[in-house]
Amino acid sequence: MNRPSHRPSGGALVLFSAGQDSTTCLAWALERFDRVETVGFAYGQRHAVELTQRPVVLAGLRGLSPVWDARLGADTVVDLAAFGALSDSALTADRAIEMQANDLPSTFVPGRNLVFLTFAAALAYRRGLETLVGGMCETDFSGYPDCRRATLDAMQQALTLGLDAPMAVETPLMALSKAQTWALADTLGGPALTALIAEATHTCYRGDRVARHAWGYGCGACPACDLRAGGWTAWTAGGARA
Ligand code: ZN
């Protein structure tokens, strides 16, 4: 495939939500790419806390390493309110967080990653970035079908064909447990990075930024908090290596 002349560098665009997973992915990308940008999506989340935390996390990462600071470029937040309005799920509407009859949690927003990746690819193309990085994980999460590597392989092919340009989709957490994700962060940035992730990133579905646990802020009861707390406990017990 010809490489269009307007894509001079092979930098990365990280799908960044200010959560534990995407922050770890961002650190991973900052170690590997000379130029890294971030993109986030506002789609009517019940809790805008992840949008308020993103500049905090980005500033924290810049402060950890002059190399990362030099490599980290623009942050873009894309307004996808129209998509949020289509998605009658517990993240965007006033519904309980529970398992549904189809074995997917009510937090599932149908096709979310497909939409995000398409918008991200359009931005990456314009910015001359050839790799998308996302925190999708199929090991211990809730069975979201658009987090499966097979789905992302198909998206990578569709984006590359549809843009007629290279567009890799990297998912460094795909095979990792939540404990191994903490361990990966420790490998990438040591205790300073794991402390930043615990303090500044947000995972809780209920948007709780009041209750502080060893693993960070959260209600401590929703599925996202359960995963984060369980991973932290397993990692600090010494059972996980990235
Ligand atoms: Zn929670």
Q: pLDDT grade, residue 212 (50/70/90)?
A: very high
pTM (two decimals)? 0.87
Please report whether residue 1 resides in a domain: no
- Between the CA of 11 and the centroid of ligand 1 the distance, in Å, is 34
Mean pLDDT estimate for the chain:
86
Per-residue pLDDT, 5: 40
- Between the CA of 3 and the centroid of ligand 1 the distance, in Å, is 45
- Between the CA of 164 and the centroid of ligand 1 the distance, in Å, is 41
- Between the CA of 84 and the centroid of ligand 1 the distance, in Å, is 21
Please report whether residue 242 resides in a domain: no
Please report whether residue 241 resides in a domain: no
- Between the CA of 167 and the centroid of ligand 1 the distance, in Å, is 34
Looking at residue 177, the DSSP 8-state letter turns out to be: -
Cα separation, 137 vs 173, in Å, equals 6
Pick the range with the lowest mean pLDDT from 42-46, 133-137, 159-163, 176-180. 42-46
Q: pLDDT grade, residue 85 (50/70/90)?
A: confident
Per-residue pLDDT, 239: 55
Asked if pLDDT for residue 99 goes beyond 70, the answer is no
- Domain residues for the domain of 19 are 12-236
pLDDT digits (tens, 9 = 90+) for 24-50: 999 999 999 999 999 999 887 656 788
Domain harbouring 230, CATH code: 3.40.50.620
- Between the CA of 156 and the centroid of ligand 1 the distance, in Å, is 32
Residue 148's nearest CA partner among 157, 156, 160, 137 is 137
Cα separation, 16 vs 178, in Å, equals 17
Please report whether residue 215 resides in a domain: yes
Please report whether residue 6 resides in a domain: no
Per-residue pLDDT, 73: 98
**Count of the separate structural domains present in the chain:** 1
Asked if pLDDT for residue 97 goes beyond 50, the answer is yes
**110 burial level (CB within 10 Å; 0-12, 13-18, 19+):** middle
Please report whether residue 218 resides in a domain: yes
Please report whether residue 224 resides in a domain: yes
- Who wins on pLDDT, 193 or 206? 193
